[in-house]
Structure 1
Amino acid sequence: MSRLVLFCLILFTAGCANVITTGGTDGQTISISRLLLPPFVNATDDEYAARALTEMTGSALVEAGIPLYQTEQLVMRTVGDEAQGSDGRYAELSRASGASHLLIGTVHEYRYKTDLDGDPAVGITMRIVDAQTGETVWQGTSGNVGYAFASVTSAAQKAVNRLVKAMPIAGSRSGRFR
């Protein structure tokens, strides 16, 4: 009987795949006075993926107690404006708005898989950049695959929450996410 329960448990959890990889500050926390959140880069076929994950990330950051700067004009940027170029326009905007850091993100995957199950799959990378120096002080990547009747939104929210929880930001409540 116990083998059957163990087999069922393994079978059930096999569909709940997630991966998170982070690096940056060698155990030190980052002191952020204000964080600028520009629109994420969309590297998917879904034209709304970047907007959706930018909004989810903003919600998660506010819930974690991280001081966020995000205007509606910034959120409404067009797809053509989303790519961060070498001109440093987001770094300049962060300095002009008094933000000490900016959070740059890329959505790599945002879809339902094409296998028999059709499970939702999400992949995202975020990096925190010092606005004064342009140095990347932290970077993380998260991938999540939902299961059964999960939506791509719930899979995305889990991936975002895992990354926000992993951010080594001083004074944040980011450990609250599960």
Structure 2
Amino acid sequence: MTTIERISRATGLLLTVACGLIVSACASVESTPAPALAENGAIAVLPLANFTETPDAGRAAQAIAADTLRTAGVAQVDTMLATDSGDALDPTAQPNLERGLDWARTQHAKYVLTGAVEEWRYKVGVDGEPVVSMTFELRELPAGKVVWSAVGTRSGFSRSSLGGVAQKLARNLLAPLAVHR
């Protein structure tokens, strides 16, 4: 092996390691072990609490979570609308868990996905990178006991969209709930 080939290999290895470090620094995800979901186990997705300064971030994250579950193989995903929870007229109202669990029981759901959005914004600065932080809890009905939870944050690059970053984070967070056929 010539010196040029060695330098080329070493440079390639260093670039691979550097790229890996950059990508891993952009996201952080932690979760508890997920239960094995049956393909026919219906999940009701409740409105997510919005602890951000961005109006409707909870509703946007709820829609992304529901679609992510559908693409992960969950056959029946029902989404509780704000009008069902009685909070449609007040954008600052936080979801009522008991009302949501009651609604999910009427939908004959086996599980309920709840959660919150803690961050949903573009960072202040020259680049204005998007950053999203969410938590999820999966509750088993009828009792409403938490059987799985996850928390994560993700930031993007200056040309990334906030919605795209949120989709990637939701996909990473909800991946353990994918239905394996």
Is TM-score (shorter-chain normalized) higher than 0.5? yes
- Corresponding residue for residue 44 of structure 1: 52
CA separation of 1:61/1:46 partners in 2, compared to 1, >3 Å: closer, same or farther?
same
Please tell me whether residue 129 in structure 1 is matched to residue 115 in structure 2. Answer: no
TM-score by length of 2: 0.79
Cα offset for 1:76?
A: 8.9
Q: 1:49 & 1:77 partners in 2: Cα distance?
A: 15
Aligned mate of 2:115, from 92, 99, 105? 105
Percent identical: 21
Q: Which has the larger radius of gyration?
A: 2
CA separation of 1:76/1:54 partners in 2, compared to 1, >3 Å: closer, same or farther?
farther
RMSD of equivalent CA atoms: 2.7
3-state secondary structure, aligned to 2:46: coil
In structure 1, list runs of 5 or more residues that go unmatched. Answer: none
Please tell me whether residue 114 in structure 1 is matched to residue 124 in structure 2. Answer: yes
After TM superposition, the structure 1 = structure 2 runs for residues 150-169 of structure 1, keeping only pairs within 5 Å, are: 150-167=160-177
In structure 2, list runs of 5 or more residues that go unmatched. Answer: 1-6
- Corresponding residue for residue 83 of structure 1: 95
- Corresponding residue for residue 3 of structure 2: none
- Corresponding residue for residue 138 of structure 1: 148
Q: Which amino acid in structure 1 is aligned with residue 122 of structure 2?
A: Y
Q: 1:104 & 1:55 partners in 2: Cα distance?
A: 12
- Corresponding residue for residue 34 of structure 1: 42
Alpha-carbon contact 2:66-2:77 (below 8 Å) kept = yes
Alpha-carbon contact 1:51-1:75 (below 8 Å) kept = no
Alpha-carbon contact 1:39-1:74 (below 8 Å) kept = no
Aligned residues: 167
Cα offset for 1:71?
A: 5.1
Alpha-carbon contact 2:87-2:95 (below 8 Å) kept = no
